[in-house]
Amino acid sequence: MQDASGLGSLLCFPGIAERIATHLPHNDVPCGMRLVCKATAALLKGKEHTTVRVWLPTSTDEFARRWGRPGAARGLSERQRNKLVVFTVRTGSLANVKVAVEACGLLTPASAWSNAACNGHLHICKWLQDQSVPFDKNREALSLAARNGHRRVCEWLLLEAGYPWTPDALNEALKGGRMELAEWLLEQRPGGPAGTHTNATGRRQVLSGALAGAAYSLPLVKFQRLYRELTESLDAAAAGDSTANTAGTDGGERQQPAASALRALALREGDEPLSEEQRGSVVAGAASSRTPDWRAKVEWLEAEGFPKTPESSVKAAACANALERLRWLRGRGYPLGEGAVKEAAENGDMDVLQYLLTEGAPSGAEVVSRAVHKGRLAALQALHAAGKAKDALAAALNATRRGHMNILLWLVDESGLEVQLSHRLLGRAVQSGNIDMVKWLRQWGCSWEPEDSSRPPLLKLAAHGGHQPTIELMVEQGCPIPDDGVPFISAATHGDMATLRYLRQLAVPWGATGDTFKRCVEEGVRPEVLRWLVAEGCPVAWPSVLAAARARRRQGSPELVTCLEAEYALWKERPRQLLIRLREEEAAAATAPSPVVSTTSSLGGIGNGSSSDSVMSSEEGWIQESQALALRVAALEQEAQELRAELEARGGSPAPGPLASHPKGPQPAADQAAEPHVAPTQAAEEEPTVKKPPEGPGVRSAPSCAVRPLSLLAPTLVGAGVAALSRLPPFAAFAVAATAVACLTRAGARARRPPPLTSA
């Protein structure tokens, strides 16, 4: 046999490569082992060896190679890019998280908190705090960390990050069997373990959740002990024994510290007992328990008088051995709930779904919606055969929104249901990120134009979906572009910076009234997006915006007001800085030897100093300067009229129209190549600032009218400028007008400068 040396040769032996692959982390095979040589890649060509799972750890080099290049995530929708970031957070690689956030062009989503805490990644939680990422809306981070026993994360969230305490965290700790962590979480409860600030309804909710979590995780013996402690504490409290609710016992068997501390959860004298629904949730916890004695716990709770509710079948349907548990519960008389059918349809468990439909479990439109939402075509077909899928349009809309082309084709071609392809379906498709579905609907006649004006514009829906290739296709095919700025609002709500930049690249209008920015504030858009909008020139009506932000502060968004007030202060300062820079330029121009007329003097009394100290600081001063500027504009308009009259008197008035059509402005007529001779004294009277050179052989002078015709536009330009400035705030109007006057003055000075002479 030929000597085999090196890893590549060793892997070529039958079974060696496959055996090694089974002992490696999953992503190390497609990202590493298959790259050793072609022979190894040929051996490991199955789907399990070629698929990269982004929620599992991946080499930073390979991750950066895939997602670090420009435009790597352009073909993903906003939902897909969001998932990429969140799944990368689960891996615990902060370097990969930064690459994913940059590649996806998203602000880090708030759901990153729950995914980082669930997996115990404290370093990523701290990074999220440094990035000012808001807490997840559902407040699941603490609960998931507690369920998985990540005490360090729980301590940091509550004691350092300011994360709110929730009773679900206690319930999840008990559900995960974390008794010591549950005791610590109970001590962090506002008002102490007994919850002095909690009403009777809140106490019943906490107690029922704790019992349900304990029934799920604890063996029967430990669960019975905890249950008796809580009920005995209640009986003792009713008898007036104040010592029964303490953390310790005076004798007998010593209880577990956590169980003793949990006695503070017991109801107090005068509290109503747990409701039937709350008691049923305890049985449901036992019916879905992970312990082998789950049947014994259910039987014991039945003996204690706990009811048989549909929730037990719902929780059992989500278990791995759902069919076995459902049959056992059904045999004991437990009713079947619609939630059980939803779980089976969503999970695609056809055996359980067929059993539930055979048993007559209730099911409605929500069951069909869940099956379509998850792309479970087989489940949808089973529901249709059972007569449950009746609303074809709702199913088609759901399928197009999620991009499930196979379900849409089945609904249209094979289901027998009448599905009409319409503008509504196209509106859902442009949000899905499935551009093939959009093209297919367009081929079947779906129009970009809505059937009625109440429908939102398609570009708004596409911006909500955040799929750039779809937006590009829509613009290329002439989809109407709204002029009220709603696409920006849709993208800004999700923190989708990539789509916002793409909309700016396409020159989508902001909307002229300033409503776009205000609605972004009302929708709770994050400060980073608002700063970007201001920097990009989005119109802002500051008084109404600040009022909307203060209203949001009352709803719990104080950082939004702080951000906007800082931006407002910068906005007010910009005209001042612009004028300072203009004065500095004027001072530099005044010291340079140039025939250009001083811009400072041309401002007509708007300050004579060139330093920033001469700039007025009060609003009244700015108004005075604006009034002076208006006088200067009127003077310029009068000067333009005089110049036009002078030009007409010389016979050099151009025919109407050439200025707009000729690339270099109006040109002198062919028979007017040379300007008529004017005596030197007469020329000096008419134009004292220009000396005409002597006429003679070999000397040619350019006609003076050739440098004047641009002034004919002055009245029109000035009138349009004044109308535009009247719609701006005083500060901004002054800054823009000052710049315009300076430019006009320099242009006028250049027009008066004699043209260069050349020999014939």
Q: Is 192 left (phi over 0), alpha (psi -120 to 50) or beta?
A: left
Residues 65 and 154 in one domain: yes
Residues 30 and 126 in one domain: yes
Residues 99 and 152 in one domain: yes
- For residue 108, what pLDDT is reported? 95
- Residue whose token pair is 């709803």: 555
Inter-axis angle of helices 730-752 and 619-650, nearest 10: 30
Q: Which two structure tokens, joined as six digits, stand for 279?
A: 């008691």
Q: Which of 482, 396, 478, 503 shows the shortest CA–CA distance to 441?
A: 396
Q: Residues 670-675: what's their mean pLDDT? A: 39
**Which range has the worst mean pLDDT, 223-227, 311-315, 365-369, 660-664?**
660-664
More confident residue, 20 or 695: 20
Q: Residues 72-80: what's their mean pLDDT? A: 94
Residue 352: pLDDT band with limits 50, 70, 90: very high
Half-sphere exposure of 683 (CA within 13 A, CB side): 14
Residues 12 and 98 in one domain: yes
Domain boundary among 561, 593, 625: 593
Residue 645: which residues within 8 A CB-CB, separation 6 or more?
Answer: none
Pinpoint the alpha helices (H) of 176-219.
179-187, 200-217
Residues 469 and 610 in one domain: no
Helix (H) or strand (E) holding 700: strand 699-700
**Which range has the worst mean pLDDT, 91-95, 359-363, 462-466, 748-752?**
748-752
Domain count, the chain: 4
Residue 408: pLDDT band with limits 50, 70, 90: very high
Residue 122 has pLDDT above 50, yes or no: yes
Q: The CATH number of the domain where 51 resides is what? A: 1.25.40.20
240 within domain boundaries? no
Residue 492 has pLDDT above 90, yes or no: yes
Concatenated DSSP letters for 125-168? HHHHHHTTPPPPTT--HHHHHHHTT-HHHHHHHHHTS-PPP-HH
Residues 607 and 750 in one domain: yes
Task: Check if the beta carbon of residue 408 is closer than 8 Å to that of residue 398.
Answer: no
228 within domain boundaries? no
- Tell the burial category of 540 from Cβ atoms under 10 Å away from its Cβ (0-12, 13-18, 19+): buried
Residues 162 and 115 in one domain: yes
205 within domain boundaries? no
pLDDT above 90 as % of the chain? 44
- For residue 620, what pLDDT is reported? 46
Residues 459 and 589 in one domain: no
Q: Which two structure tokens, joined as six digits, stand for 504?
A: 């700016």
Residue 329 has pLDDT above 60, yes or no: yes
Give a three-class secondary structure readout of 6-53.
CHHHHHCCCCHHHHHHHCCCCCHHHHCHHHCCHHHHHHCCCHHHHCCC
Pinpoint the alpha helices (H) of 536-596.
542-554, 558-591
Domain boundary among 154, 169, 184: 169
- For residue 643, what pLDDT is reported? 64
Residues 495 and 613 in one domain: no
- For residue 728, what pLDDT is reported? 56
Residue 277 identity:
E
- For residue 682, what pLDDT is reported? 37
- Range of 113-117, 201-205, 543-547 with top mean pLDDT: 113-117
Residue 638 identity:
Q
Q: Is 6 left (phi over 0), alpha (psi -120 to 50) or beta?
A: left
563/558 Cα distance (integer angstroms): 9
Residue 679 has pLDDT above 50, yes or no: no
Domain boundary among 143, 169, 195: 169
- For residue 266, what pLDDT is reported? 67
Residues 716 and 734 in one domain: yes
Residues 518 and 580 in one domain: yes
| β-strand partners of 106 | 496
Task: Check if the beta carbon of residue 272 is closer than 8 Å to that of residue 208.
Answer: no
Mean pLDDT rounded to a whole number for the chain: 77
752/750 Cα distance (integer angstroms): 5
653 within domain boundaries? no
pTM of the shown model: 0.71
Angle ∠(697,699,704) on CA atoms, nearest 5: 130
681 within domain boundaries? no
Residues of the domain holding 623: 603-646+705-754
The whole-angstrom distance between residue 13's C-alpha and the CA centroid of its chain comes to 51
291 within domain boundaries? no
pLDDT above 70 as % of the chain? 69
261 within domain boundaries? no
Residues 150 and 39 in one domain: yes
Residue 491: pLDDT band with limits 50, 70, 90: very high
- For residue 156, what pLDDT is reported? 97
Per-residue model confidence as pLDDT tens digits over 505-548: 999 999 878 899 999 988 889 989 999 998 898 998 888 888 88
**Which range has the worst mean pLDDT, 131-140, 145-154, 689-698?**
689-698
598 within domain boundaries? no
